[in-house]
Structure 1
């Protein structure tokens, strides 16, 4: 399997995951305080939306890469 077909599969899987989940979350550490034996830490959870068009575009582009014929 050549590189373009592998990239096509990755785009299809990523597009399907984007459509299924709609985004992803991550935790960002914002503040940290150490005062003697006292340790305080604040973490903020954020959500990143993935647009619908990006998921559909990934699936379509991946499909095109799978059916494209390479020059030999």
Structure 2
């Protein structure tokens, strides 16, 4: 397999993952206050949405790169 085929497959997988999940969330730990030996820690839940047009673009670009990768020079 050459680099174009691998890149195309990776783009298609990323595009499908973006379409099916729609985004992801994670927890961020921060220190809100520190007074002497006492620390106040806060957990914030962050959420990132992946636009549908970006997922479709990754699918289309992956398909294009995959087709071009199968062509013989």
Specify the TM-score bucket, using the shorter chain as the normaliser: 0.7 to 0.9
For residues 24-70 of structure 1, give each alpha carbon's deviation from its aligned partner in whole angstroms, at most 9, with x where no partner exists: 11111222556677554211011001000000001110001111025
CA contact (8 A) 2:15 2:57 kept: yes
Q: Distance in 1 between matches of 2:3 and 2:31?
A: 43
Q: Distance in 1 between matches of 2:4 and 2:11?
A: 10
Q: What is the Cα-based RMSD across aligned positions, in Å?
A: 1.7
Aligned length: 71
Stretches of structure 1 lacking an aligned partner (at least 5 in a row): none
Q: Distance in 2 between matches of 1:12 and 1:3?
A: 14
Using the size of structure 1 for normalisation, the TM-score is 0.82
Shift in Å, 1:23: 0.5
Using the size of structure 2 for normalisation, the TM-score is 0.81
Runs of 4+ in 1 over 3 A off after TM superposition: 32-40
